């Protein structure tokens, strides 16, 4: 259900749900997206990066950005 993207010449990873997405059963998809993004953050740290994390609301959804 999440979309992963890249910005800034692949120096920023974005994680977000599609605009308008509603899961048919699970009421808290933004909790899971935070867990997913945390795994990416930990992987970047493990590889020696010091990522900056931001979360913004865009079109009614959380958009996570991890920049190196």
**What pLDDT is attached to residue 2?**
81
Which domains does the chain possess?
3-67 (3.30.200)
pLDDT tens-place string over residues 22-68: 777 767 666 778 888 999 999 999 999 999 999 999 888 889 999 99
Distance CA 22, CA 29 (A): 9
Handedness of CA 40, 66, 37, 3 (dihedral sign): negative
Helix (H, G, I), strand (E, B) or coil at 8: coil
Q: What pLDDT does 29 receive?
A: 64
Chain position carrying tokens 């999440």? 2
- The whole-number pLDDT of residue 24 equals 74
Q: Give the pLDDT confidence score for residue 18 in this predicted structure.
A: 84
- CB hemisphere CA count around 58 (13 angstroms): 12
């Amino acid at each position: 259900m999440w979309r992963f993207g890249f910005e800034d010449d692949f120096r920023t990873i974005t994680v977000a749900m599609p605009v308008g997405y509603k899961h048919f059963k699970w009421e808290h998809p933004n909790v899971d997206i935070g867990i997913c993004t945390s795994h990416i953050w930990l992987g970047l740290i493990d590889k020696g990066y010091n990522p900056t994390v931001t979360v913004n609301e865009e079109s009614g959804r959380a958009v996570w950005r991890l920049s190196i």
